[in-house]
Amino acid sequence: MNRIFKSIWCEQTRTWVAASEHAVARGGRASSVVASAGGLEKVLKLSILGAASLIAMGVVGPFAEEAMAANNAGVCLTYNGSSNNTSGTGGWFADGCKSAGWVQGMVTNSKTDWVGLTADDTQIVLDGSAGSIYFRTGGINGNVLTMSNATGGVLLSGLAAGVNPTDAVNMSQLTSLSTSTATGITSLSTSTATSIASLSTSMLSLGVGVVTQDASTGAISVGANSPGLTVDFAGGQGARTLTGVAAGVNATDAVNVGQLASLSTSTAAGLSTAASGVASLSTSLLGAAGDLASLSTSASTGLATADSGIASLSTSLLGTADNVTSLSTSLSTVNANLAGLQTSVDNVVSYDDPSKSAITLGGAGVTTPVLLTNVAAGKIAATSTDAVNGSQLYTLQQEFSQQYDLLTSQVSSLSTSVSGLQGSVSANTGTASGDNSTASGDNATASGTNSTANGTNSTASGDNSTASGTNASASGENSTATGTDSTASGSNSTANGTNSTASGDNSTASGTNASATGENSTASGTNASATGENSTATGTASTASGSNSTANGTNSTASGENSTATGTDSTASGSNSTANGTNSTASGDNSTASGTNASATGENSTATGTDSTASGSNSTANGTNSTASGDNSTASGTNASATGENSTATGTDSTASGSNSTANGANSTASGDNSTASGTNASATGENSTATGTDSTASGSNSTANGTNSTASGNNSTASGTNASATGENSTATGTDSAASGTNSTANGTNSTASGDNSTASGTNASATGENSTATGTASTASGSNSTANGANSTASGAGATATGENAAATGAGATATGNNASASGTSSTAGGANAIASGENSTANGANSTASGNGSSAFGESAAAAGDGSTALGSNAVASGVGSVATGAGSVASGANSSAYGTGSNATGAGSVAIGQGATASGSNSVALGTGSVASEDNTVSVGSAGSERRITNVAAGVNATDAVNVGQLNSAVSGIRNQMDGMQGQIDTLARDAYSGIAAATALTMIPDVDPGKTLAVGIGTANFKGYQASALGATARITQNLKVKTGVSYSGSNYVWGAGMSYQW
């Protein structure tokens, strides 16, 4: 237990010495025993200097003002290596020196002369006219030397500047540190700003964005002859990273990340050294080390954003590659583009010399700096040569400013605490009830073992706890509370700052109103709060409530498990989320938001860039104001938007709203499900549509538009080529200015048009407007339904018409024209051969210059002509002009209706005439001329010769049918037969006459039989007759059945023949 001692004045030595509270001076019951030795006063004064050196070694701590005496006390004097001692009885002093290994160096410039004080609770009191100062050892292993006066604080003056890591530092060093730190930060900010300003103003416009090297000097220039003052490295997909940048030397040279990293490292090293020196003065600077570590973390986190920028550049370059691919469809404009490129050579960037070690922006000899904009964040690494942008330096500057302000505040607080030591000793009302505890200050309470309470109403109730400051409270084991109203209730917790709270085990709260309630949590900064387990909150009003969360920056919030929020007003609420940048928000699980106002709300989402938003699950938004709201969506580029599920938007103002859609290129739009838009202003709005090329549009379902300004609006349509248009369902347009508007139509060739359903146009200016039509060849036209035009300038305008050959024309329905300049104008007509013409309905003209003008006519042979309806001309120059006429043979003519001319030069002019044989002529109607030179001039005649050139018809077979010709043999046989027939016919006539006469007589005999009289019922009679000598007899009867009904019958016989008959009548 503690024993209370008091100080007793020694007259002999003129010093104060420790004595029991029961001892009395000058003749009391228990005499005071004091050490008496020559030069003791001097030695004790020197020992005070040694104690001061211990204080300078950083072991100053809070203490309680108590009496200076203890059991087993003793004073040991050593001179030239021999030990002397003075001791007392009653247990006040022990004989001899307790140890030969006490700390040496207690007397200036002496290793063998020193004084030692030993006791269970050794204390030293220096009393002077200005007041008293108390020294006392403490701590677990006696490693704490407490110095105090009545007011609690003691000012150390004349303190030399510390040299070693454990030396104390004086106010001059602290002031120098503050000045050098401020100067270093100012220099860093100024030099960095200057470097960036120089970099920003050192490049001219890139023109067409091509970097070229001078063939003779190897120098690279950026728009040397351009009047512009801005260089924009941004491509169609956003900012680019400038790599391979050598370390800048001159004021206008660009700086690389390596220089920045070196600057950051040296600055961090300087700040770290400063933190070590300040930390040795008081535990109140523990927060400074945390702030410096936080600064390193913030800088590292801020610069790590560069990696994301590089990833964005990689994605953007992919979009550039796609745009280059789309150029393949625009080869027709290459010459014009090359001409335009030539005019922009003066605006390109080139190396200064062949070594390619430097680039002077603005061109050789230009001294005016130019602005370099859209520089992507450079990679932060020791070996990095990337350029850094203003955003990276701004973030670093902000973090340095915050840490510097916090360090200045803490140093000021320390200065205030140190200044308080100058006060004088006053009455102490503190209570130290714990073993080895110390309480200093009004109502101070130290109840924990080895606890220390320093300050009005301060409380140290935890074992090994320390509470420093008005109302400070340290209740946790090994806890430390420093600052007014500070509270450290967690085990091994530290609260440093006014109203700071550290309630979690192993927690640390540094800063005014800072609160660390979570286990192993750390809160650094005014109003900072770390409530989650293993959480860290760094910065004013920062909050880390999630387990293993980190909030770094003013008003930053990390509420999600394993979340990280870095930057002013940043928020990371999702599990494993990361928010990096001013006002950035990461609320989705595993989400990442990097950049000012960046927002990642979807699960596993990533938002990188100012105002970027990733709200869909597994979504990625990369670029200023980019938005990825669809699940698994990706938006890369300024104002890029990917709202559809699994969608991807790459490029400035690109939009992918359809499910599984892809938009790649500035202002590109992919709104259809599974759609793809690649190229500036490309638009794919149809389901499964694809638009590739500048201003390309694919609005139809499953449509494809490939080429500048190409359009595919029909379902399943395809448009390939500049200005190509496929508007019909299942249509295909291939070639510059090609158009396929019909359903299932195909247009293939420059300016080709297929407007009819199922139509096909192939060739430059080919046109297929008819349904199911086909036009193949330059300027070919198929306007009729089911028509086909095949050949340059060929035309098929009739329904079902076919024109094959250059300038061939099939204008009639079902017509066919085959051959150069062939023409088939008649319905179902056919013209085959160069210049062949078939104008009649169902006509056929086959042969060069052949003509079939009659309906149903046919002309076969060169220059053959069939003019009559149903006529046929077969042979060179054959002419069939009569209706139904046939002319066969070179030069044959059939002009009569239904006439036929067979043979070279044959001529059938009569209606129905036939001329067979060379030179045969049939001029009579229905005449026939058989044989060479035969002439049939009379109607209905057959001629086998001509006048003077008659012919016999020989070898005539016997005729069979009625119209067969008979030969002479048949004629003679017919005459003989006629005679025989006439003879037999006379006998037959005679027989017929006899039978006729008998019949007449028999009929007459029947009429001669009388009828039944009225009133009688039956009458029977006979009759007889004679005609030309032929006699006949008859028997008959008549019966009256009723008054009105009567029946009659009879039979007559004449020669060998007989006749009978019967009849009935009804009368009324």
Residue 322 scores a pLDDT above 50: no
**CATH code, domain with 1024:** 3.30.1300.30
**pLDDT for position 232:** 56
Helix (H) / strand (E) containing 267: helix 257-279
Q: Does residue 1024 sit within a domain? A: yes
Quick one: 1004 and 948 in the same domain? no
Asked whether residue 110 falls in the same domain as residue 246, the answer is: no
Asked if residue 360 and residue 219 are part of one domain, the reply reads yes
Inter-CA distances, 678 with 631, 683, 694, 713, 733, Å: 21, 8, 8, 16, 18
Q: What pLDDT score does 400 carry?
A: 58
| Joined tokens for residue 627 | 């938005």
* Domains: count for the chain: 5
pLDDT surpasses 60 at 99 = no
Domain boundary among 559, 593, 625: 559
What is residue 818's predicted lDDT score, i.e. its pLDDT? Answer: 92
> What DSSP element (H or E) covers 174?
helix 171-200
Residue range(s) defining the domain that contains residue 475:
429-559
With bands split at pLDDT 50, 70 and 90, how would you rate the model's confidence at 451? very high
Which token pair is 901? 């001319």
Element (H, E) at 350: none
**Range with top average pLDDT, 143-152, 162-171, 778-787:** 778-787
Q: Would you state the pLDDT for residue 173?
A: 62
The upper half-sphere exposure of residue 323, i.e. CA atoms within 13 Å in the direction of its Cβ, equals 23
Q: What is the pLDDT of residues 429-440, one digit of tens each?
A: 689 999 999 999
Q: What is the pLDDT of residue 294?
A: 39
Q: Give pLDDT, residue 865.
A: 95
1036: amino acid identity, one letter: G
Residues 364 and 448 in one domain: no
Q: Is the pLDDT of residue 201 over 50?
A: no
Query: Does 892 map to a domain?
Result: yes
Is residue 684 situated within a structural domain? no
Residue 121 pLDDT greater than 80, yes or no: no
Is residue 219 scored above 80 in pLDDT?
no
Residue 316 lies in a domain: yes
> 266-280, 685-699, 843-857: which has the minimum mean pLDDT?
266-280
Which pLDDT value is given to residue 993? Answer: 75
Q: Residue 64's pLDDT is what?
A: 35
Q: Is residue 1013 scored above 90 in pLDDT?
A: no
Q: How far is CA 25 from CA 33, 388, 923, in A?
A: 10, 79, 183
902 and 862 fall within a common domain: yes
Q: Check whether residue 106 and residue 49 sit in a common domain.
A: yes
Say yes or no: 259 and 364 in one domain.
Answer: yes
> Which stretch of 42-56, 514-528, 689-703, 829-843 has the lowest confidence by average pLDDT?
42-56
pLDDT band for position 846 (cuts 50, 70, 90): very high
Q: What mean pLDDT is predicted for residues 923-946?
A: 92
Q: How far apart are the first and last CA of the chain?
A: 178
- The pLDDT of residue 1056: 74
Do residues 452 and 500 both lie within one domain? yes
**Residues 906 and 1042 occupy one common structural domain:** no
CATH number reported for the structural domain that contains residue 488 in this entry: 2.150.10.10
Q: Is residue 454 part of a domain?
A: yes
Q: How many CB atoms lie within 10 A of CB 210?
A: 12
Average pLDDT over residues 485-490: 92
Distance CA 222, CA 210 (A): 9
Mean pLDDT for all residues in the chain: 74
Please, which residues have CB within 8 angstroms of residue 42's CB and are 6 or more apart in sequence? none
380 and 466 part of one domain: no
pLDDT of residue 145: 62
Number of H helices, E strands in the chain: 7, 88
Provide mean pLDDT across the span 157-184: 64
Q: How many residues does the chain have?
A: 1068
3-state SS assignment for residue 341: helix
Say what the pLDDT of residue 974 is: 75
Report yes or no on 757 lying in a domain. Answer: no
Question: How far is 593 from 270, CA to CA, in rounded Å?
Answer: 32
Side-chain-facing half-sphere of 646: CA atoms under 13 Å: 8
- Antiparallel, parallel or unpaired: β 494-496 and 480-482: parallel
Does residue 23 lie in a domain region?
A: yes
Backbone dihedral angles phi then psi of residue 368, each to the nearest 5 degrees: -80, 120
pLDDT at 316 over 90: no
Out of 544, 559, 574, a domain closes at 559
- Considering the domain architecture, whether residues 184 and 139 belong to the same structural domain is answered as no
Within this chain, do residues 289 and 391 fall inside the same structural domain, yes or no?
Answer: yes
* pLDDT score, position 458: 96
Note whether residue 243 is domain-resident. Answer: yes
Q: Which domain-ending residue is among 559, 592, 614? A: 559
